[in-house]
């Protein structure tokens, strides 16, 4: 058995940042365990998202339980399974969230997590080349963030159309205010995906005090009384153990972090006992408070030629795109998933936007190998509530660490989520039918002319919506009885064990979750180093 100062479980968005910062001091011996592989060729290029979303070589490929809000459908729940975690397969949009998101966390009792507390960590993690105000933006961090090419005229058209329905243009939604429509900032640089594997791990592979072990599936933590002293893991079916003199940091993500706690006897006593697991620490909140964005996609056919990716990526067009990418790193293959987005208010009088619209200038169809371009040229615009109040749960169904947990989202169980979603769909339709869009000759495919009342739109949402892959909250940070970690990210009741990933978010941030997950990793390392001695 090897002994380290720190063991980090999971090398994803947060875990890679934790390992990077903890191993910066050569006196700290750090073990980083990752269940997935070291890399995948598609994880290096932006277009690879479409290939990895259904690829078991780099994806856990979970799915949710059927439920009323999905009209009985199981939804795909992809999660990255390789160094970089979900940052290595995601849609590359870089969105921090609103200042109010973090102020809310602080108001819930999480001292040290207000916006003014987390802003230095957001700045520390990034090198943003797109301008903006230095009060908010970082220039020297490991993660390179860029603005996509704005040269495509359809983006200017969309910005004009949004303006016509009262949505202002905001060049930096990660700056002073989130409000408005903007080109998506992206974790892309020189045509390459900027995953945390690339930005946080590649530059430090040679640190002699950092040991990165891939294909290493952590199966449980080792407890001595109420102290965590290490982990048990398997590599190619061989069982191993490692000990931590100081902290074990679990960064296995929203699905696997609560799974690991439950497998280790930390969770709801009745549930654990029913599976034959000895209860080590009763924590009723483990696996609860699951939140995600539930988004229907409105779909529009485009009459005008050579406007969308469907036209440009066909036949010879695809050859041109491939050559352009090969020589310049630009074009469709080097592009962020949804290149333009709007943060909007679903009703007048709100203090801040509560809904998101995201546009992709193409139509796709599902296929076993991932989404493929439709023959029809068109636009997709998804629309969703940004801070849903509906809460689901994730729990193990067996004591076997290789058995996927059951994921129940319980979407739309809070009526306000349904209301905001319907309003967001209506705003998306208003932008698409604004005067500036007329030259594109759009035809509404979905929701369609037969779905105009609230209940018709809601039924359609239940038929078609999917998540935008932002599950959070299953090891909630807080000081209430349902909290799993305290504001220092220490698991309640267990010494030497912290959690640092999207699972600790008490509420969902207003937007995509990669940036806040990395911020959590950065802050976690700071908290560990502050208290470790």
Residues involved in catalysis: 470
Does residue number 91 form part of the binding site for ligand FAD (CB under 6 A)? yes
Helix H or strand E segment including 169: none
Pick the stretch among 6-14, 110-118, 310-318, 353-361 that binds ligand FAD (CB under 6 A): 6-14
Q: What whole-number distance in Å separates Cα of residue 135 and Cα of residue 119?
A: 9
Identity of the residue, 248 or 260, whose beta carbon is nearer to ligand FAD in the bound complex: 260
- Would you mind telling me the total number of residues written for the chain in this entry? 533
Q: Please, which residues have CB within 8 angstroms of residue 216's CB and are 6 or more apart in sequence?
A: 33, 34, 35, 233, 234, 235, 240
* Token reading at 340: 């333009």
Q: What whole-number distance in Å separates Cα of residue 370 and Cα of residue 49?
A: 9
Binding residue for ligand FAD, selected from 89, 307, 427, 434, defined by CB under 6 A: 89
Pick the stretch among 86-94, 264-272, 371-379, 411-419 that binds ligand FAD (CB under 6 A): 86-94
Q: What whole-number distance in Å separates Cα of residue 34 and Cα of residue 81?
A: 8
**Chain centroid offset of residue 285 CA:** 21
Does residue number 333 form part of the binding site for ligand FAD (CB under 6 A)? no
* Token reading at 199: 């930005």
Pick the stretch among 11-19, 383-391, 413-421, 488-496 that binds ligand FAD (CB under 6 A): 11-19
Q: What whole-number distance in Å separates Cα of residue 298 and Cα of residue 300?
A: 7
Identity of the residue, 377 or 467, whose beta carbon is nearer to ligand FAD in the bound complex: 467
Task: Quickly count: other Cβ atoms within 10 Å of residue 436's Cβ.
Answer: 17
Strand partners of residue 188 = 193
Identity of the residue, 146 or 513, whose beta carbon is nearer to ligand FAD in the bound complex: 513
Report yes or no: 272 and 265 within 8 Å, Cβ to Cβ.
yes
Binding residue for ligand FAD, selected from 80, 230, 331, 392, defined by CB under 6 A: 80
Q: Match 């066909």 to its residue by tokens.
A: 314
Q: Match 């990418």 to its residue by tokens.
A: 325
DSSP state of 87: G
Least separation, in Å, of the C-beta of 347 and ligand FAD? 26
Identity of the residue, 105 or 469, whose beta carbon is nearer to ligand FAD in the bound complex: 469
Identity of the residue, 377 or 380, whose beta carbon is nearer to ligand FAD in the bound complex: 380
Does residue number 396 form part of the binding site for ligand FAD (CB under 6 A)? no
Encoded one letter per residue, x for contact with ligand FAD by CB under 6 A and - for no contact, window 246-285 reads -----xxxx-x---x-------------------------
Encoded one letter per residue, x for contact with ligand FAD by CB under 6 A and - for no contact, window 457-496 reads ------------xx--------------------------
Report yes or no: 196 and 12 within 8 Å, Cβ to Cβ.
yes
Identity of the residue, 331 or 404, whose beta carbon is nearer to ligand FAD in the bound complex: 404
Binding residue for ligand FAD, selected from 22, 23, 50, 85, defined by CB under 6 A: 85
Least separation, in Å, of the C-beta of 48 and ligand FAD? 11
Q: Please, which residues have CB within 8 angstroms of residue 151's CB and are 6 or more apart in sequence?
A: none
Identity of the residue, 79 or 299, whose beta carbon is nearer to ligand FAD in the bound complex: 79
CB nearest ligand FAD: which residue?
12
Encoded one letter per residue, x for contact with ligand FAD by CB under 6 A and - for no contact, window 216-245 reads -xx---------------------------
CA proximity to 357, closest of 146, 78, 95, 132: 95
Encoded one letter per residue, x for contact with ligand FAD by CB under 6 A and - for no contact, window 13-52 reads xxx-----------------xxxx----------------
Binding residue for ligand FAD, selected from 141, 285, 296, 337, defined by CB under 6 A: 337
Q: Please, which residues have CB within 8 angstroms of residue 512's CB and are 6 or more apart in sequence?
A: 90, 91, 93, 94, 95, 468, 470
* Token reading at 401: 């660490």
Binding residue for ligand FAD, selected from 28, 81, 345, 395, defined by CB under 6 A: 81
Report yes or no: 53 and 8 within 8 Å, Cβ to Cβ.
no
Q: Say if residue 447 is preceded by a cis peptide, omega within 30 of 0.
A: yes
Task: State the residues that interact with ligand FAD by CB under 6 A.
Answer: 9-15, 33-36, 53, 78-81, 85-87, 89-93, 95, 217-218, 251-254, 256, 260, 337, 469-470, 501-502, 512-515, 517
């Amino acid at each position: 058995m090897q002994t380290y100062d720190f063991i980090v479980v999971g090398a994803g968005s947060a875990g890679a940042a934790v390992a990077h910062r903890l191993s910066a001091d050569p006196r700290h011996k750090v073990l980083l365990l990752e269940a997935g592989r070291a890399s995948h060729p598609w994880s290096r290029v932006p277009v690879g998202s479409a290939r990895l979303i259904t690829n078991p070589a780099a994806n856990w490929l979970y799915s949710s339980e059927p439920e009323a809000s999905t009209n009985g459908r199981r939804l795909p729940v992809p999660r990255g399974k390789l160094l970089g975690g979900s940052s290595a397969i995601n849609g590359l949009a870089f969105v921090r969230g609103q200042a109010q998101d973090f102020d809310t966390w602080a108001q819930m009792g999480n001292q040290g997590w207000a916006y003014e507390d987390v802003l230095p960590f957001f700045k520390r993690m990034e090198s943003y080349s797109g301008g903006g105000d230095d009060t908010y933006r970082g220039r020297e961090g490991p993660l390179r963030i860029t603005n996509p090419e704005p040269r495509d005229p359809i983006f200017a058209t969309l910005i004009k159309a949004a303006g016509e329905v009262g949505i202002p243009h905001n060049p930096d939604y990660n700056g002073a205010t989130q409000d408005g429509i903007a080109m998506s900032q992206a974790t892309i640089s020189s045509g390459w995906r900027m995953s945390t594997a690339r930005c946080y791990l590649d530059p430090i592979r040679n640190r002699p005090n950092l040991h990165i072990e891939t294909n290493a599936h952590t199966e449980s933590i080792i407890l001595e009384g109420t102290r965590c002293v290490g982990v048990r893991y398997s590599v190619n079916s061989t069982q191993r153990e490692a000990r931590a003199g100081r902290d074990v940091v679990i960064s296995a993500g929203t699905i696997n972090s609560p799974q690991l706690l439950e497998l280790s006897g930390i969770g709801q006593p009745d549930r654990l006992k029913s599976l034959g697991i000895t209860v080590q620490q009763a924590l009723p909140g483990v696996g609860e408070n699951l939140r995600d964005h539930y988004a229907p996609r409105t779909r529009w056919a485009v009459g005008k030629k050579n406007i969308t990716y469907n036209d440009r990526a066909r036949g010879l067009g695809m050859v041109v795109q491939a050559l352009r990418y090969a020589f310049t790193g630009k074009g469709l293959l080097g592009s962020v998933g949804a290149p333009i987005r709007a943060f909007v208010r679903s009703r007048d009088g709100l203090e801040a936007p509560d809904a998101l619209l995201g546009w992709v200038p193409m139509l796709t169809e599902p296929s076993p190998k991932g989404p493929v371009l439709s023959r029809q040229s068109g636009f997709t615009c998804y629309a969703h509530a940004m801070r849903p109040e509906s809460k689901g749960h994730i729990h193990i169904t067996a004591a076997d660490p290789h058995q996927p947990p059951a994921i129940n989202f319980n979407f739309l169980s809070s009526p306000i989520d349904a209301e905001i979603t319907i309003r967001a769909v209506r705003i998306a339709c208003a932008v698409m039918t604004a005067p500036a869009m007329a030259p594109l000759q759009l035809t509404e495919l979905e929701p369609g002319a037969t779905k105009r009342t609230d209940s018709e739109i809601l039924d359609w949402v239940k038929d078609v919506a999917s998540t935008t892959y932002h599950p959070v909250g299953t090891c909630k940070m807080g000081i209430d009885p349902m909290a799993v970690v305290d504001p220092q990210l220490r698991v309640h009741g267990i010494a030497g064990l912290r959690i640092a990933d999207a699972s600790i978010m008490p509420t969902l941030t207003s937007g995509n979750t990669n940036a806040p997950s990395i911020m959590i990793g950065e802050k976690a390392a700071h908290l560990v180093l502050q208290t470790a001695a």
